[in-house]
Amino acid sequence: MTCSTCTQWKPKDSGAMAKHGLCICALGPRWQFLPPQHTCQKHKPVPADVQAARVVWLGKLQK
């Protein structure tokens, strides 16, 4: 239950910060970027296909 598996984590809305794996949370301020491993009590899981795509995307960032 981390940001990378949550519907509120918005990589496509995060601009250049997404290149560093940091993304905006729809529930937080627009200037705050969260890492994929961050957790919170308001987690809402994304569908399995979106989660799989995020795993691939995050893997590419680590290279």
Which residues form the domain of 33?
Answer: 3-61
Domain count along the chain: 1
Q: Would you say residue 63 has pLDDT above 90? A: no
pLDDT tens per residue across span 12-43: 999 999 999 999 999 999 999 999 999 999 99
> What is the percent of the chain where pLDDT is above 90?
95
Residues pairing with 16 in the sheet? none
* Residue of 22, 51, 20, 21 lying closest to 34 (CA atoms): 22
Residue 62 pLDDT: 83
